[in-house]
Amino acid sequence: MGELKAGENQSTGRLSNLEALRCVAMMMIVVLHFLGKGNVLGDLSKPEVSGYGYAAWVLECFCIVAVNAYMLLSGYFLSTSYFKLSRLIKLYLQIWFYSVLIGMGAYLFGIYPQEEFSLHYVLTLIFPITMGHYWFMTAYVFLYIFMPILSFAVRGMDKKQFILSLILLFTVFSLVKSILPARVEMDGQGYDVLWYICVFMAAAYIRKFGFKPYEKRGMSLILYLAGVLLCFGELMLLHMVYIKTGALEHIMKISIEYNHFFPFIASLGIVGVFKELRLPDGFGKFINRISPYTLGVYLLHENLGVRYAWQKLFGAADIDSAGMLILRTVEAVIVVFTVGIIFDSIRNFIFKGLNKLLGAAKVYILIKEKVDNVDKLCITNGQNRD
């Protein structure tokens, strides 16, 4: 992956094949939220599971790679960049915009249950990172705050040191929980910054030293499919063990947790698959135009105010066959992704307008100068260490 030049669009400097993966990963995340929060997945605690219930679990296993793949992409690009306070502020303002606007809008329009409205709900909207409104964004923001330290480590380590660090990280935070027939007390199931430090370091290693499976055409696809099949196989095996013995219920779904080893190797595989893509120039430019808005898709549909409501629009509760499952899932993905992209492009337009409007204000100018100075200092110090 050190040679990731395949889909680069020279006019934009963006890797359109990896940007395409960013879009696909976000679509997969929509699938996961449709299946899980729409109660479409079959109940594995019962001996009888419908055909479409099993089909939903197959879809779940194919898409469980999405979050790790999205973070691998972020880590790949962030690992060679420098910390910028301005980037952190822009990200926080984007999160805050969605958190407050959509959250309060959902309450005012009756989408969020009136009886569940509380001070905790309001505080979650106003303080989205510290209150964990979006768990992924909380982990991502903390990861970005740690980035100066991580980047320093990445630049300073040779290959042997890097490999040793990765072995230790993934043994502690992935392999141990993947093989023990019991819950690890410290296991965050991949919903925390510790796991995404592991993923970030893996992406940084790949960018710095490459990854052998990516050097052979087809190996990445095998890695992805093997990871998916292993996820589903372990899921079904533990399901059968529970039905026959009543044991291991607490780890029945462990193979579809983000920090389990199977989803992680599958995510490495899907990144390699997209590395091999050659996108037509026109399509590549289109992908590069919409990919910066993919985060808005997540911030919109996963807002606490609508998190468990939008699935009803696509008839999640009415699914009674594998064919209907596919149809409703595809409909949900297309609509949610499209609306999210459009909404975030509008948000970006508003932010640019506000930036121009506030540009003449003395306070705004002073704050901007201070932030720019911090950015310059961080970049200069980073370059000096290089």
In 3D space, the residue among 210, 162, 199 whose CA is nearest the CA of residue 3 turns out to be 210
Amino acid at 197: I
What is the band of 51 on the pLDDT scale with cuts at 50, 70, 90? Answer: very high
Quick one: the chain helix, strand, coil %, rounded to 5? Answer: 75, 0, 25
Please state, rounded to an integer, the average pLDDT across all residues of the chain.
92
In 3D space, the residue among 32, 43, 106 whose CA is nearest the CA of residue 239 turns out to be 43
Query: CA–CA separation, 300 vs 295, rounded Å?
Result: 9
Max CA pair span of the chain: 71
In 3D space, the residue among 84, 74, 110, 89 whose CA is nearest the CA of residue 298 turns out to be 74
Give the pLDDT of residue 10: 37
Q: Name every residue whose Cβ is closer than 8 Å to that of residue 55 and which is 6 or more positions away in sequence.
A: 322, 325, 326
H or E stretch including 8?
A: strand 8-9
* Structure confidence by residue, pLDDT tens digits, 138-177: 999 999 999 888 988 898 899 999 999 999 999 999 999 9
Give the pLDDT of residue 382: 65
DSSP 173: I
Query: Strand 8-9 vs strand 14-15: parallel, antiparallel, or unpaired?
Result: antiparallel
Residue written as token pair 């320093």? 152
Cα distances (Å, whole numbers) of residue 242 to 95, 100, 103, 238, 297: 41, 43, 39, 6, 37
Structure tokens at 209: 């030293």
Give the pLDDT of residue 386: 60
Helix (H, G, I), strand (E, B) or coil at 244: helix
Q: Are 136 and 190 in contact (CB under 8 A)?
A: no
Percent of the chain with pLDDT over 90: 78
Q: Are 100 and 164 in contact (CB under 8 A)?
A: no
Percent of the chain with pLDDT over 70: 95
Give the pLDDT of residue 4: 38
Structure tokens at 200: 């970030």
Q: Name every residue whose Cβ is closer than 8 Å to that of residue 149 and which is 6 or more positions away in sequence.
A: none
> Is pLDDT of 1 > 50?
no
* Structure confidence by residue, pLDDT tens digits, 27-38: 999 999 999 999
Give the pLDDT of residue 65: 97
Helix (H, G, I), strand (E, B) or coil at 120: helix
Q: Residue 132's CB: how many other CB atoms inside 10 A?
A: 13
